[in-house]
A and B are shown apart, each in its own frame.
Chain A
Amino acid sequence: MSETGGKDEWDMRRMLTTGLVIAFLFGCTDTGPRDDAGGIPEPQRYGGTAVVSSLNEVNSMNHLASVDETSQELQNYVLFTTLIRYDESLSPVPYLAESWDTVAAGDGLALTFHLNDDVNWHDGTPTTANDVKFTFDRIKDEATAYTRSSMLASYDSAIVADAHTITFFLNRHPGFMDPWRAISPMPEHILGDVPAAELRQHSFGAVDPVGNGPFRFVEHQSGDRWVFEANEDFPESLGGRPYLDRLVYRFIPEPTTKFTELLTGALDVYIIVPPAQIAEIEASDNAKIVTHENRGYAFINWNGRRPLFSDPIERRALTLAINRQDIVNVVRGGLGTLATGSIPPFHWAYDAELEPLPYDPAAARLLLDEAGWVDSDGDGVRERHGIRASFELRTNQNPTREDIMTLVQANLADVGIEVTTRVQEDQSMGRDIMGPQRNFDAFVLGLQTEFNIDDRRLFSCATPEGPFHWAGYCNPRVDEILGQVVEMSDRSQSLPLWYEYQEIIQRDQPYTFLYYDVRANGVSTRVHGVEMDIRGELQSVHDWWIAPTDRRLAGS
C-alpha cells in the first residue's frame, strides 16, 4: 500500500506548495517518529556503510574547481563545512560560523563572521578565518575562473580581524548571506601557494583532498567511487560525529543497473529515479520512494525572432494548446506541478495566487485566428502572409524531453500547427541556440534556479546577444523590475514587484513553462533519518543511521 501512501503525500504536497508553509512541507518527507519505533537507542545508531549514487560522476572535491550539484552536496554536507546553513524555512543558521553581525559601513554593509574555534582540517591544522579569506580571494581572482563567482559580485573586500573573525564589506543586496551556504572554504595551508589559474588541476581535487567536515576522505577510484569515513573529532557544536562509519558515493551510469543495485541491497540511496521505475521500487520491501521539491523547471523556449513566435498572443495560444497536466502525468508520472513562470514554489517570491494557464485548445484556435493564422488551403496547417505555421522543436538527448516533444507535437497538430522534432547532441544544440545566429525555432529544456533568482540573463533587453537570451524577449517593464528587485534587501518591499513580474511573464509567455520539478529518489529501508528537500538529497547525511542488525557484513 506504499503506492497509495505516496499518492497521498503527493496530494498533500500539492496543497502545501500552493501556500507558503514551506517549513511544514519537510515534515512529510518521511522518517520522524515512525522510523524510531524500531526502538534502537541513540548510542547504537553509530556504525555501518551507506552507498549513494546520483546522475553524474564526481570528479573533484576542490570547491574552487567543481560546483555541479552532486559535487557541491558532497563538499558542503560531507567533506567540508560551510559558514552557514539553511534551516527548513531557508533562513540562515550557524555552522562553521557560530554567529555573525552586520553594521552599516558607508552606503554599504560590513558583515562579520565569528567562526567556531574547534574545527580542524583532517590533517590536524585548525580551520581559521585565513582559510575563509583565502577562499574569498581566490573566488574574486578572475584567473581562478570560479564558476559561481557572480554570487559574490556585490562583495568588495575582506579583512581578517583575528584567527576566528572575518569581516566582509559589501553592497546591500537581498540574500547577501546566500553565498555562505554554498561556499565551502578551502584549506589555505595546502592550496595557498598554488597559482590561481592552476587550482583547478591541483591533485587536491581528485587525489588527496583534506576536508574539515563530518566525514573525512578515504579514497577515490576514478570512474567508480569516492569513499568517506566518519570524522571522530567533528566538534559537538557542529553536530559531532555522524552516525555512519562510512559513506560511499558510486557512479553507475545506467539507471536499470542502479535500480537493480538498490533493490538487491548493494545501493542505499538512488538519487533521481526515472518515473518508469517508481512503481516497482514502491512495491518492493527493500526500498521506498522519497520525493521532494526541487529548484528546477522545464520549459519550451520560443525563438521570438521568428514570425510565428514574435507576438505574446501567439505564444499564449501555443501554451493554451499544450496539455501540460497531461505531460506531467504521462511523462513524469505525476512528479511535477504546473508552472506559471520562472520562480518555483519553494521561493519566497513565488506567487501562489497566480493560476496556471488552462489547457484550452478552443481558445488557442480563436487566438490564432485573430492573429491572422488561418488554414486557407485546407491542408490542416495554418498560414499567414504565405508563411506556414510550421516549426522545428528540438531537445538534447534526454528521454523525458523527447517524450514531451511527442506530446507537444500531437497537441499542436490539433490546432493546426505543424511540428517536426529533432534530438540533438548537447553541444551542437548549444551552438545553435547560444550562437549569434540563433539558428533554431523552439526547444525543450530544463533550468535549475538558484536560491537567489536573477533572470536578467534570460530576459533583459540590455543584452540581446547574451548566450542565454534564447527567447529574444524584451519588455521594458520587466527590465525595470528585474533591475530593482536585485537591489531591494527588504522582501516585503520587493514582493509586489516580484508578483508583477510573474504576471507579466504569464501574460507574455516568452517560454511556455511546463512544470516545476519534483524529484523522486529511492531509499533503502535499512537507512533511517534520510530527509531530502529543496536544500538537497544529502542535506541530512550527518544523521543517517542503520540499525546494527541491518549493516553490511564483510563478504556480503
Chain B
Amino acid sequence: MTAYIVRRLLQAVPLLLGILTLVFVFMHAAPGDPTALYMNPSIAPEVLEQMRHNWGLDQPLHIQYVRWMKSFLTGDFGISLAQNRPVASILADRIPNTLILSGVSLLLIFIIGIAIGIIQAVRQYSALDNALTFSALFIYSMPSFWLGLMLILIFAYKVYQVDWWPDLLRFPASGMTSVNYEMLGFWGKFGDRLHHLVLPSIALGISSAASIARYMRSSMLDVIRQDYIRTARAKGLPERTVILKHALKNALLPIVTLLGLYLPFLFSGAVLVETVFAWPGMGRTIVEAIYQRDYPVVMATTFVFAAMVVVANLIADLLYAVVDPRIRYE
C-alpha cells in the first residue's frame, strides 16, 4: 500500500511540472502584464518600465522561467505583484478559507445526496420518489452563482422585511465573519462562522448533492435486486438492517469514484460562489490574479489546485480498497 502511494505521488511530479510549465507559457503569452493595473495617462510610461525592471519582467522569458522554477523548487513562491506581499502568506490566508467552504459543501453533498438517494431507491416510483427526482433535476440545472444570488435575495434580504421570521434564519449575505466578530465569545464566534457558512455552502453544494442523489438511487436499485439482499430479507432481518448494513456498503462503491471527481469541481465552482458571497478564498484569488497578470500568484495557485486534484484522486482510489475488499494495491 505504501509503495503504491509513493509510486502514485512520484508519477504526479512530472505531471505537475508539465502543468506549471504550460501555465507559465500561456500566462506570459497572454497580452499585457501586471503593470497594466497602473496604465493611466497621468502615469509616465517610464515609471512602468522601472516597475517591470524591479520585478524582473524585462528579462528574456526563458531566464524568467528558470529563475521562477529555481525559487519554486526551493520552496519560495515569490512575491505577489498586485498584492505586494509574499505569495506563501496569501496561500496561508486563503487555502484554509476555501477548504472550510468546500469541506462543508462536500459533507453536505454526500450526506444529503446519499440519504435522498436511499430514500428514493427504497420507495421507488412512489409520489415521494417522483417529487424528489423532479426537484433534484430542477436544482441540478441551476448554475451555482445564480442560485447564490437567489439565496441572498431571499434569505439575506427579503426575510429581513418579514417581521415574524426568526433571526437565526436571517443569514448574512457576505464574508466569513461579522464586523463585530472580535467582540464575540467563543461560542458566539463559532455560531457566527456557521451562520456565514450556510448560504455559500448550500449554493456551492446543492446541485452536486442532487446529482449524487441520482447516482445513489440507481446504484442502490442495482444492489437491492441482488440475490444476497433477497437472502438477507429471507432470513428475517429487519428492512432497516438490510438496507443500511448489507446494501449500502456495496451501493457506495460508484459514489466513492465521484468523490475524486467532485473535489476539483468544487474548487472551480468556488470561484463564482466566492465572488458572490465575498468569501476570501482561493478561487477568487486565482481569477483576480489571472486578470491582473499577477504571475507568481497564478503559478502558485495553479500548483496548489493541481496538487489538490492529484491528492483527491489518490484518496478516492484508496477509498476503493476500503469499501471493496476485492480491490488491493500492491
| Chain A residues packing against B (C-beta within 8 Å) | 49, 51, 57, 59-60, 62, 65-66, 68, 142-143, 145-150, 197, 200-201, 203, 205-207, 221-225, 248, 250-254, 256-258, 260-261, 263-264, 266, 425-428, 430-431, 434, 447-448, 450, 454, 457-458, 466-468, 552-556
Min CB–CB distance A223 → chain B (angstroms): 3
In the complex, which residue of chain B has the Cβ closest to the Cβ of A458? Answer: B41
Separation in Å of the A164 CB from the closest CB of chain B?
Answer: 31
Which residue of the partner chain, among A62, A222, A248, A266, contacts B93 with CB atoms under 8 Å? A222
Q: CA–CA, A263 to B173, complex, Å?
A: 11
Flag whether B36 is at the interface (Cβ < 8 A).
yes
- For B79, the chain A residues whose CB sits under 8 A away are 201
Q: Is B42 engaged at the interface, CB distance under 8 Å to the other chain?
A: yes
Residue from A248, A257, A263 within 8 A of B179 (CB atoms): A248
Given A201-B84, A260-B153, A427-B30, is A142 in contact with B50 using a C-beta cutoff of 8 Å? yes
Hey, what's the 0/1 contact readout for B48-92 against A, CB within 8 Å counting as 1? 101100100000000000000000000000010011111001100
Q: Given A222-B83, A222-B94, A250-B175, is A555 in contact with B184 using a C-beta cutoff of 8 Å?
A: yes
B38 at interface by CB-CB < 8 Å:
yes
10 smallest A-B Cβ distances: which pairs? A427-B32, A223-B280, A431-B31, A145-B50, A252-B278, A145-B51, A224-B280, A260-B173, A554-B183, A468-B41
Q: Is the CB of A427 within 8 A of B36?
A: yes
Residue in contact with A59 in the complex, picked from B32, B39, B43, B83, CB distance below 8 Å: B83
- Which of A145, A207, A256, A454 is in CB contact (< 8 Å) with B152? A256
A264 to B281, alpha carbons, bound, how many Å? 24
Whether B32 lies near A428 (C-beta < 8 A) is: yes
| CB–CB A145/B157 < 8 A | no
Q: Tell me if B275 is interfacial: C-beta within 8 Å of chain A.
A: yes
Chain B minimum-CB-distance residue to A268: B179
Q: How far is the CB of A347 from chain B (nearest CB, A)?
A: 14
On whether the beta carbons of A150 and B278 are closer than 8 Å, the reply is no
- The contact string, 1 if C-beta is below 8 Å from chain A, for chain B 157-176, is 10010000000001011111
- B residues in contact (CB < 8 Å) with A: 30-33, 36-48, 50-51, 54, 79, 82-86, 89-90, 93-94, 149, 152-153, 156-157, 160, 170, 172-176, 178-180, 183-184, 188, 275-278, 280-281, 284-285, 288, 291, 293
- Least CB distance from B204 to A in Å reads 15
A258 contacts which chain B residues (CB < 8 A)?
174
B115 to chain A, nearest CB (A): 31
Nearest-neighbour CB distance to chain A for B61, whole angstroms, equals: 17
Separation of A450 and B43 alpha carbons in the complex (Å):
11
Alpha-carbon gap, A197 to B156, bound state (A): 46
Beyond A250-B278, A254-B276, is A428–B30 a contact (Cβ under 8 Å)? yes
With A222-B83, A222-B93 in contact, is A251–B42 under 8 Å at CB? no
Q: Is the CB of A427 within 8 A of B293?
A: yes
Which B residues are in CB contact (< 8 Å) with A447? 41
The reply to whether B32 and A426 form a contact with Cβ atoms under 8 Å apart is: yes
User: What is the CA–CA distance of A555 and B167 in the complex, to the nearest angstrom?
Assistant: 11
Q: In the bound complex, do residue A457 and residue B50 qualify as a contact, i.e. CB atoms below 8 Å apart?
A: no
Q: A197 contacts B54, CB within 8 Å?
A: yes
CB-CB under 8 A from A266, the residues of chain B are 172-174, 178-179
B93 touches A150 (CB 8 A): no
**Does the CB pair A257–B174 fall under 8 Å?**
yes
Q: Are B293 and A264 in contact (CB under 8 A)?
A: no
User: Closest CB of chain A to B153's CB: distance in Å?
Assistant: 7
**CB atoms of A254 and B156 under 8 A apart:** no
Q: Could you say which residues of chain B place their CB within 8 Å of the CB of A49?
A: 179-180
Instruction: Tell me which residues across on chain B come within 8 A of A60, comparing CB atoms.
Output: 83-84
Q: Which of B48, B184, B276, B285 contacts A554, CB < 8 Å?
A: B184
The answer to whether B42 and A205 have CB atoms under 8 Å apart is: no
Q: Which residue of B lies closest to A251 (CB)?
A: B278
Q: Are A257 and B278 in contact (CB under 8 A)?
A: yes
Closest partner residue, chain B, to A424 (CB atom): B31
Q: Which residues of B contact A149 (CB under 8 A)?
A: 44, 47
Most interface-central of B176, B183, B278 (chain A CB within 10 A):
B278
Contact call A223/B93, Cβ cutoff below 8 A: yes
Cβ of B54 and Cβ of A261 under 8 Å apart? no
B38 touching A261 by the CB < 8 A rule?
A: no
Inter-chain CA distance A434–B40, complex, in Å, is: 11
Give bound CA distance, A428 to B29, whole Å: 11
A206/B83 contact (C-beta < 8 A), A150-B43, A200-B54, A266-B173 known: yes
**Least Cβ distance of B325 to chain A in Å?**
45
Known: A207-B85, A223-B93. A264 touches B157 (CB 8 A): yes
Instruction: Compute how far the CA of A69 lies from the CA of B173 in the bound complex, rounded to whole angstroms.
Output: 26
Q: Find the residue from B33, B84, B86, B152 having the highest chain A CB count within 10 A.
A: B84
CB-CB under 8 A from A51, the residues of chain B are 179
Find out whether the CB atom of A430 lies under 8 angstroms from the CB atom of B156: no
Interfacial chain B residues near A427, Cβ < 8 Å: 30-33, 36, 291, 293
Q: Which of A49, A149, A427: most chain B Cβ within 10 A? A: A427
Q: Which residues of B contact A555 (CB under 8 A)?
A: 180, 184, 188
On chain B, the residues within 8 Å of A466 by CB distance are 45
Distance between B253 CB and nearest chain A CB, rounded to angstroms: 39
- Nearest residue in A to B272 (C-beta to C-beta)? A254
Q: How close is A202's CB to chain B, nearest CB, in angstroms?
A: 8
B99 CB, min distance to chain A CBs, angstroms: 15
Most buried by A among B33, B79, B157: B157
15 additional contacts (CB under 8 A) given A150-B47, A458-B41: A65-B84, A66-B84, A143-B54, A145-B48, A197-B54, A200-B54, A206-B84, A250-B175, A256-B149, A261-B174, A264-B156, A427-B291, A457-B41, A552-B180, A554-B188
* A68–B288 CA distance with the chains assembled, in angstroms: 16
With both beta carbons as reference points, the residue of chain A lying nearest to B50 in the complex is identified as A145
With CB as the reference atom, state the residue of chain A lying closest to B167. Answer: A556
Interface centre among A201, A223, A251, A457 (most CB of B within 10 A): A223
Which residues on the A side are within 8 Å of B172 (C-beta)? 266
The docked-state distance in angstroms from the alpha carbon of A426 to that of B50 is 22
| Cβ–Cβ contact B36 & A426, under 8 A | yes
Residues in B neighbouring A148, C-beta threshold 8 A = 42-43
A-B contact pairs, 16 of them (CB 8 A): A49-B179, A49-B180, A51-B179, A143-B50, A206-B84, A207-B85, A250-B175, A254-B278, A260-B153, A263-B160, A264-B173, A266-B174, A427-B30, A431-B32, A552-B179, A555-B188
Q: Which residue of B lies closest to A427 (CB)?
A: B32
The listed residue (A254, A260, A426, A448) touching B291 by CB distance below 8 A is A426
Query: B162 → chain A, closest Cβ, in Å?
Result: 12
Docked pose: A254 CA to B176 CA in angstroms: 15
List of A residues within 8 angstroms of B160 by Cβ: 263-264
The smallest beta-carbon distance between B258 and chain A, in angstroms, is 30
Q: A60-B84, A146-B47, A147-B38 are in contact. Are A256 and B153 (CB under 8 A)?
A: yes
